[in-house]
Amino acid sequence: MSIHSFVKPEVFDPEALATMDEAFDAACKALDDTGQPQIVREVIAERIIAAASTGEPNPVRLLEAALPWLVGE
């Protein structure tokens, strides 16, 4: 699954979409490892999109916005 299915067309440039997709893929892999339901992926996508909408370009920070317990505590 790609974050593209959650994003409105032409809202983000290709570079931003690639960064968002990287963060989303990492989050989905982590969710697969813990057996989370599909609805959680939708929430994760919404959180990544919200963070990217503020101009965040870093995939690690996008992942942290989506799944803060996964990144560096």
Quick check: is 55 in a domain? yes
What's the domain count of the chain?
1
pLDDT tens digits, one per residue of 1-14: 789 889 987 899 99
pLDDT > 80? residue 32: no
Quick check: is 8 in a domain? no
> pTM of this prediction?
0.83
- In angstroms, the CA 30 to CA 14 distance is 24
Quick check: is 34 in a domain? yes
Burial letters 24-52, b for 16+ CB under 10 A, else e: bebbbebbeeeebeeeebeebbebbbebb
Q: Which domain holds residue 32?
A: 13-70
Quick check: is 56 in a domain? yes
Residue 73: the pLDDT is 43
